[in-house]
Amino acid sequence: MKRIITILAVIIVLFLIGFGIYRMIKYMRTDVFLLTEKEEYYHWEFIKLNAKIKNKKLIEIYKNEPFYVNVFKDNNKIITIGALIKIPLTYNSKKKIWEGKWPCPWNAVDGKYRAEPLVTKNIRYKTEQFIIKRRKSKKHFQKGFSVLTFENTATLSKMKMKGPDKQETDWKGLFEWTKFIGADAFWYLIGQTKAEGKKPDEHFPWVERNFSKLPEMGKEAHSRGLKFGAYIISFLTFGEYKYKNYRYAYEYNSEKGGPVETRAISLADEKRVSDIIKLVEILNNIPEVDFIGLDYIRNALGGYELVDEFVEDMNVKVPEGWGKYNSTRRMGWLANEKVSRRNMCLIDQWNWWRAHKVSKIIKRITTKVKLKKPLWVFTLTWEKGWQHGQDPVMFSDAGADIDALMLYEATREQFDMLVDEWHNYIKKDEANLVLGNVVDWPLHQRILNPPGPEEFYNRFVHATKNIYNDKIADSIFIHDLARALWGRIKPYSTEEWLIAGGAAISEMRRLNGILPVSAEIGIDSKLKIGEEFSIPIEIKNISNKKQKNISIKLHLIDGTILGDKKKYINELAPNQIVSVSFRAIVKTPAWEKDLKNMIAVQVFYDEKNASFFKYVTVR
C-alpha cells in the first residue's frame, strides 16, 4: 500500500513539474499579455486596458505608434461610446506597458468581456476577461410608492396657504396636501445657494432659514404616517452674486466675445463637491429625515471649461495645432462642434463623459458619507438623460438608490417619443425609477381639450404603462406643491391639479394590483347651467379581501353639492359593487375652461384614499 502511495506521489510531482515547464514555455512564447486594472467594473467607469509586450520586435514597432485592441463579449465585437471600435493603447515608458481606456457602453449587458489585439496574425497573445456588473441596490420603497415635492425656500415660520379644506393654514398644510393626494412621502427643497445679503457666507453657502425646522417637519410627517425627504440643488446657484471661492461653468457666446461665465458651478469645482458632502452629512444625521436628494446633479449650464479634461479622457480627435490653441479657442471649438451637431460621435462622447464625471461625484458622496438613508437624484429625460450628461444606469451603479425622472417640458408628441426612447432602453431591475410630472399649465401647452389637469394625469398613466420594456412602473412623484399653490395653474384650481395627481397615483397602484377599491363616475358628460343633476358613483372592491368602513367624498369644482358631500359603505365583499348618488348644480359657466367642470370622488379605506375624476361639459 505504501509503495502504491509513493508511486502516485511521484506521478503527481512529475505532472506538476511538467505542467509548470509547459506553462513557462507557453509564457515565453507569448508575445502580448492583455490585462485590465480590475476584474470588475460598473457602467459609469472607464475600463482601463493594459498590454505587456514581450516580443522585442513588436516592442520597437509599438513604442512609436498605438497598439490597437478590440473588445468582445462572447464572439461579438463591441462598439462603444462615440462609435469606438478599436481602442488605441499607447506606450508608458515609466511603466513599460501600453495603456488605454474603454468607456463602458450605455447600459452594457452584464457579464464577461475580453480584449483582443486588432491584428492577431503572427502575434501570440493571452488575455484575461473582465466583468461589467450592476450595483445591487435595495428598493427602499414599496410597490405603489408616491411622493409630493415642494421646490420653494420661502420662510416656513411665515408660510400661509389654503389647505384641502379651503381653510387657511401654516406650513403643516404641506402635509395635509400630501395626505390629500394619497402620497406616501413629502420631499422638501432645503439646499439652495442664493446670496441674500451683501456679505454671504462663503463657507456655508446654503439658505439657512429653514434648517432648524427640518426635525419638526420630519416629526409632523411621521405623525401623519408619511416619510420625509430633503434635497439639495447641487450645481446651480440663484441670484446675481458670484461666490469668490467657486469655479463657475462657461457657456460660449460669439456675440459677447467668446466664453461667458454662467450661474452654474463647474463640475470640476472641488469646493462645491466638498460643500455638498458637508450638507449631505448634516441631513444624514437628522433622524427625522428619511430620504436625501440631489437636484441639478449635472452639468447645469455651459461646461466648456471642461474641454481639456474631456479631450484627454475620451481621446478626442482634435484639430491640427491643438497644442497652440488658447483656452478661449479650445472652448469655442467644442461649443461649435456641439451646437452644429456635425459630429454626432463627439456629442455621444461629451454626453457619456459628463455622466461619468457626475457619477464620480455621486460615488465620492456615497463613499465619504456613511449614508443611513436612501439617496435619490433628479434626472432630466431627453435622450434618456444623456443630453444633460445624466444616465440612470450609471447613477445607480455610482450609488444613487432612486432616480426621479422629470418627464416634463415637452409637447405631447415629444412626450410620447421621449417615453418610447426610455421604453427601448431600460428594464425595471436596471434602476429604481420614480416617474414625475410637473403642475404647470404652460408646460402642458395651455391645453383645454383635454383639460390641463386631465392631460397631466394622462401623461402619468402613459409613462407608468410604457417607461419600462418589461414591466409596469410602480412609483411616481407629483412636482411640485409650490407650483400647485402659487404657480402657473390657471384657469384650473390647485384642487383640480392635485386631484388629477392623486388619481394618477391611484391608477398606478391599480395597474400594479395593489389598489383595493375603484370608483366609476357614471354621469352624462353634457349638463346644463342652473339645472340640478344627479351624480351616480359605482364603488367596486377589486381586491380579494373584504373591505370595511369605506367613505366616499365628492368634489365638484366651480359648482355646488346639494345635500351630503360624503357617503358611507360599511362593507364590500370581493368583486362586490355598490352604487351611491350625489346631487349637485352648476350656476356659472366655466368659460375659461371651455365650459368643462371637474367632478371627482375620493374613496377612503383602511386609513388611505384613492382619487377618481371626470370632466363634464356644463353649458
pLDDT in tens, 183-208: 999 999 999 998 877 778 888 999 99
The whole-number average pLDDT for the span 376-394 is 97
The CATH number corresponding to 31-132 among 1.10.8.60, 3.90.550.10, 3.30.70.890, 2.60.40.1930 equals 2.60.40.1930
The three three-digit cell numbers of residue 538, written as one number: 359605482
At 176, the pLDDT band (50, 70, 90 cuts) reads very high
Q: Where are the domains of the chain?
A: 1-28, 31-132, 517-618
Q: 305-356 pLDDT, tens per residue?
A: 999 999 999 999 999 999 999 999 999 999 999 999 999 999 999 999 999 9
Full-model pTM: 0.92
Across the chain, mean pLDDT equals: 94
385 close to 358: Cβ distance less than 8 angstroms: no
Dihedral sign, CA of 447, 452, 455, 456?
positive
107 close to 43: Cβ distance less than 8 angstroms: yes
At 525, the pLDDT band (50, 70, 90 cuts) reads confident
Q: 563-589 pLDDT, tens per residue?
A: 999 999 999 999 999 999 999 999 999
At 27, the pLDDT band (50, 70, 90 cuts) reads very low
At 140, the pLDDT band (50, 70, 90 cuts) reads confident
Q: 58-97 pLDDT, tens per residue?
A: 999 999 999 999 999 999 999 999 999 999 999 999 999 9
Q: 401-443 pLDDT, tens per residue?
A: 999 999 999 999 999 999 999 999 999 999 999 999 999 999 9
At 239, the pLDDT band (50, 70, 90 cuts) reads confident
At 11, the pLDDT band (50, 70, 90 cuts) reads low
Q: Domain 517-618 adopts which CATH fold?
A: Immunoglobulin-like (2.60.40)
The whole-number average pLDDT for the span 128-151 is 92
Tell me what pLDDT residue 95 has.
Answer: 94
Contacts of 173 (CB under 8 A, 6+ apart): 161, 162, 163
The three three-digit cell numbers of residue 59, written as one number: 516592442
Tell me what pLDDT residue 1 has.
Answer: 59
- Minimum mean pLDDT among 1-15, 449-463, 497-511: which range? 1-15
The whole-number average pLDDT for the span 250-254 is 93
| Percent of the chain scoring above 70 in pLDDT | 95
Tell me what pLDDT residue 22 has.
Answer: 39
220 close to 176: Cβ distance less than 8 angstroms: no
The CA-atom distances, in angstroms, between 616 and each of 150, 349, 535, 585 are 31, 51, 11, 12
- Map residue 368 onto helix, strand or coil: helix
* 31-132 and 517-618 share one fold: yes
408 close to 460: Cβ distance less than 8 angstroms: no
Which secondary structure element, helix H or strand E, spans residue 398, and what is its range?
A: helix 392-398
Q: Cis (ω within 30 of 0) for the bond into 450?
A: yes
Dihedral sign, CA of 602, 604, 145, 172?
positive
Tell me what pLDDT residue 215 has.
Answer: 98
The whole-number average pLDDT for the span 537-561 is 97
At 12, the pLDDT band (50, 70, 90 cuts) reads low
The three three-digit cell numbers of residue 506, written as one number: 391611484
